[in-house]
Structure 1
Amino acid sequence: MANMQQQEESGEQIVIVGAGLAGLAVALGLHRKGVRSVVLESSPALRASGFAFGTWPNAFRALDALGVGDKIRDLHLQAQVLRVTSSSTGVVARELDFSGKQGGGRPFEFRCVRRDVLLQVLEAELPGDTIRYSSKIVSIDDEHGGDGAKIIHLADGSALRAKALIGCDGINSVVSRWLGLAKPSHSGRSATRGLAHYPGGHALQPKFLQFFGHGFRFGYVPCNADDVYWFYTWFPSPDDNEGVDKSGATMKQYVLTKLRSSKVPAEALDLVQRSEISDDAPAAPLRFRSPLSLLFADISRGNVCVAGDALHPMTPDLGQGGCAALEDGVVLARCLGEAVLGTGGVTEKERVESGLRKYAGIRRWRSIELIGTAYTVGFLQQSDNAVVSFLREKVLAGVLVKRLLKMSSHDCGTLSS
């Protein structure tokens, strides 16, 4: 007991739970502002799951604010075109040229970034003692008396005292549950993903190709000269889905069978064929938090808040999950960092709580809009309803692409007010 009390009293100023994109972005943003934090990660090392994610202009604004944008650019290809094609007819519904300019005259940027590479880049910018691995949080308590600090209990029996607690611990977040956020819902769809490796280099053009219809959505895009990321989302049904997610081999065969019966190019079959799909998690249900539930939810309460998937789990149909996590990191580091460093007639506790409320106010509507738009876009793209399919190919494709571009044009600002 004495040892536990000693650990609690030693404490930490700011504790971040989860060393994913949001957690490391918050930690790096705070570090850039001269504020120390500690990141608790349940895994023994950086998590490399997730393969890759589409990185749109809004994400690169965040990465530039954190000072790592150019490092990521140097390691990943710039995509030149987004092409959306019907897998039923083979007709191109929409093609978008990425070589133009965006707001402010900046070139439009889309790169498919390997998740493990980005995490490694973020980690390398942090002080060596920032991340504590094999540190799984199991519960949170309020400290009795004092300055309202939180006591964080870990699976190994130890505990930490935190003056600010930031939950970046994913879709099954312990911190989200403590705040009382609604449990994520199943969208009715599932997804599998892969990374095709070409040791001698692939011959694919730097294009982001997507195919929709037949009840699925499939897409692929090169990350660099050797790696190509692909995804496949679908509506599981008892008729054609029995046991397909029991192993990586059966999942791969299921995807190949579906693609062979559709109008996709031969290169798509090749990259799926050469990919390894893990037996541990060959597929996953696509879940999201109801956007309506976030209207009045406690994104922050006192000296606790959430970011990333712990705040806004969404379906991947906009490719904005990782991008939004990076936005969260910059906004939260700015609001919290300035609160911690601030002076005035209020206490540090009051400044911290005010900073977290400011962050929550900025990110609430952005989160609601992203979740709702992603769900709607996914439903329309994969629906087999005859009317929806007709409208999608004749009218909605252009509307959906415009909506995607609007979501990706957001500017989260810099680390300074």
Structure 2
Amino acid sequence: MPLATTTSSSISSYLHPRRRRNAVVAPRCEAAQREEIVIVGAGVAGLATAVSLRRLGVGATVLEQGAALRAGGTSLTLFKNGWRVLDAIGVADELRAKHLRIQGMKMRSASAAAATDVLREFSFEEEAPGQEVRAVERRALLEALASRLPPGAISFSSKLRRVAGQGGPDGATELELEDGRRIVARVVVGCDGVNSPIARWMGFSEPRYVGHMAFRGLARYDGDGAGGGQPFEAKVNYIYGRGLRAGFVPVSATRVYWFICFNRPTPGPKITDPAALKREALDLVRGWPEDLVAVMRDTPEDAVVRTPLVDRWLWPGLAPAASRGGVVLAGDAWHPMTPNLGQGACCALEDAVVLARRLAAAAGAAGSAAGASYGEAMREYERERWWRVFPLTARAGLVGALVQWGNPAVCAARDGVVIPRLVRLGPFLEHTNFDCGLLEPPATAAPLP
């Protein structure tokens, strides 16, 4: 049975929690709050896990350190495997209505000033039939997921201070929050992002900086093309230089997403001045094709971000387990990867469905056996997902290293031979054919209110 969705006014309450009439403010007292499943982090992985569990008849509490849903960020490119998950959890059609379907890809050299001077052009329909690609605004994705949860399911301003302890007769985990609250949960799902405190507590190393930085931005335009030009084609545009690459893709009728990836030995100091960030990005592509530069100029300063690119390779026998006691990781908290394959968000969505399916089956266990069932469910989730995420993380890192080379001879071979003659889109996108399956509630499961 499909779950009822909240109204647009409910979405506004997630973005502006002060407006929420039924917001639950936990009392600051000594007694610990008890929960069955707690998800730490209201990002893509956390919200998708909560929605997936709910569709299977299992409730969960989501802890978000911010005062509202994260409105920052730009967009996420979702491929066929990501849309399969969004279909399974019931938000795909809502997002499709707001975001353009991308029809193909165009690859150019930075020296090609004319937009018609291309190294290679692809049609998804011809090269990869059945592919679905859309650039989705991160905020829109989070809102769509949050709308499938009941009021109060997301506890805002709930920053984790530490994992306070594990054990007891039911194997529960105690979490201590910054505001002094304590929560005891049978299952804790760490979806707290690249710099996950839960991953550190479980023994994972810090994500590895790969030697590249990225600028990202979300431009606004009125449908006539940024800078007063022609309307944008529904294609991904890639532009390659030496140790530097950029690209842009239409998101909707009024938004276009762009990025720049550049080599840098260290991330360097953080820049907080939005105007300075935008100037630095424009300086990097001075003299590059004008359609890219025009898109960047039409970007509000507060819609430009700069981040280091990081990953973590889950080497067998060396990386810690994805679960410890009643705690398990999902999404970027477990397997951060570079964006070179466009699979970070897609894999987080896949994690959510697989983990929810395992936990929902374990939640059906009776009495004291439930703790043991949850532990086995987490181990099965890790076994199922490791074979998927480790090769993709490694492949994304290797692709990034290759396309970021600055050697003139290598770049000439790339532009003259590799891209025009050797690149095949179908095999390159084979990983997007992955299907992690549907969410089928057990016959005995009662729908949640």
**TM-score normalized with structure 1 length:** 0.90
Corresponding residue for residue 211 of structure 1: 239
**How far is 1:356 from its partner?**
0.8
Which deviates the most, 126-135 or 87-96? 87-96
- What's the counterpart of residue 181 of structure 1? 204
* Residues 1:171 and 2:199 are matched in the alignment: no
Does residue 102 of structure 2 align to residue 92 of structure 1? no
327-336 or 243-252, larger mean C-alpha shift:
243-252
* Contact persistence 1:317–1:378 (CA under 8 A): yes
CA change 1:365–1:94 in 2 (3 A) is farther
**Which residue of structure 2 lines up, in the alignment, with residue 231 of structure 1?**
259
Q: How many Å apart are 1:124 and its aligned residue?
A: 0.5
Describe the SS at the equivalent of 1:118. helix
The aligned amino acid for 2:163 is: I
Question: Which ranges of structure 1 fall in alignment gaps of 5 or more residues?
Answer: none
How much has 1:131 moved relative to structure 2? 0.3
Query: 1:54, 1:112 within 8 Å by CA — same for their partners in 2?
Result: yes
8 Å Cα contact 2:36-2:187 kept in structure 1: yes
Q: Is the 8 A contact 1:294 1:368 kept in 2?
A: no
Q: Is the 8 A contact 1:77 1:224 kept in 2?
A: yes
How far apart in 1 are the matches of 2:424 and 2:260? 19
Deviation of residue 92 (structure 1)? 3.3
Scaled by the length of structure 2, what TM-score is found? 0.84
Task: Show the 5 A alignment for 1:308-327.
Answer: 308-327=331-350
CA distance in 2, matches of 1:217, 1:101: 23
Residues 22-42 of structure 1: per-residue CA shift (max 9 Å, x gap): 000000000000001000000
Which of 127, 135, 138 does residue 115 from structure 1 map onto? 138
Where 1:183 maps in the other structure, the secondary structure is coil
**Corresponding pairs, count:** 405
Residue 157, structure 1, aligned to residue 180, structure 2: yes
Q: Partner residue of 2:248?
A: 220
Once the 2 structures are TM-superposed, how far is the Cα of residue 160 of structure 1 from its aligned partner? 0.2
> Where does residue 19 of structure 1 map in the other structure?
42
Structural mapping, 1:77-88, within 5 Å:
77-88=100-111
Provide the residue aligned with 1:70 in structure 2.
Answer: 93
Q: Which structure 2 residues correspond to residues 391-410 of structure 1 after superposition, within 5 A?
A: 391-394=413-416, 396-397=418-419, 398-399=422-423, 401-402=425-426, 404-410=428-434
Give the 3-state SS of the residue equivalent to 1:99 in structure 2.
helix
Runs of 4+ that moved beyond 6 A: 241-244
Q: Distance in 2 between matches of 1:193 and 1:259?
A: 13
How far did residue 85 of structure 1 move?
A: 1.9
Q: Equivalent residue for 1:348?
A: 370
Q: In 2, distance between residues paired with 1:237 and 1:276?
A: 28
Question: Matched residues in 2 for 1:255 and 1:3: separation?
Answer: 45
Shift of 1:342: 4.2
Indicate yes or no: 2:294 matched with 1:270. Answer: yes
Q: 2:425 & 2:417 partners in 1: Cα distance?
A: 11
Q: Which moved more, 1:146-155 or 1:290-299?
A: 290-299
Contact 1:213 1:383 in 2 (8 A): no
Distance 1:214 1:302, change over 3 A: same
After superposition, the C-alpha distances for 1:31-82 in whole angstroms (9 at most, x for unaligned) are 0000010000000000022210101001001101111111111111001111
Q: Deviations over 1:260-280 (max 9, x none)?
A: 323x2x22111100112339x
Distance 1:205 1:212 in 2: 19
Q: Conserved in 2, the CA contact under 8 Å of 1:291 and 1:369?
A: no
Match of 1:368 in 2: 390
Change (3 A) 1:29 1:190: same
State the AA in 1 paired with 2:387: W
Give 3-state SS (helix, strand or coil) of 2:315's partner: helix
Distance in 1 of aligned mates of 2:71 and 2:283: 28
Q: How far apart are the structure 1 equivalents of 2:224 and 2:140?
A: 18
2:73–2:305 Cα contact (<8 Å) kept: no
Of 153-162 and 297-306, the range deviating more from structure 2: 297-306
| Cα distance between partner residues in 2 of 1:120 and 1:329 | 17
Q: Which residue of 2 aligns with 1:196?
A: 219
User: Do the aligned residues in 1 keep the contact of 2:38 with 2:62 (CA within 8 Å)?
Assistant: yes
- 1:414 maps to 438
Q: Does 1:286 align with 2:314?
A: no
- Contact 1:182 1:290 (8 Å CA) reproduced: no
Indicate which of 377, 401, 404 corresponds to 1:382. 404
Q: Percent identity?
A: 38
How far the C-alpha of 1:165 sits from its partner, in A, is 0.5
Q: 1:402 to 1:158 in 2, by over 3 A?
A: same
Against the structure 1 CA distance between its residues 228 and 394, is the aligned structure 2 distance closer, same or farther, given a 3 Å change threshold? same
Q: Who is 2:75 aligned against? A: 52
Describe the shift of the 1:375–1:129 C-alpha distance in structure 2 as closer, same or farther (beyond 3 A).
same
Q: In structure 2, how many angstroms separate the alpha carbons of the residues matched to 1:97 and 1:287?
A: 30
Shift of the alpha carbon at 1:303? Answer: 1.5
CA distance in 2, matches of 1:4, 1:245: 40
Q: Secondary structure at the match of 2:430?
A: helix
C-alpha RMSD over aligned residues: 2.6
Partner of 2:24: none
Structure 1's 402 and 382: CA in aligned 2 closer, same or farther, altered over 3 A?
farther
Distance 2:202 2:247 in 1: 36
AA aligned to 1:411 is: D
SS at match of 1:187: strand
Structure 1: how far apart are the matches of 2:320 and 2:63? 25
Q: Once the 2 structures are TM-superposed, how far is the Cα of residue 297 of structure 1 from its aligned partner?
A: 2.2
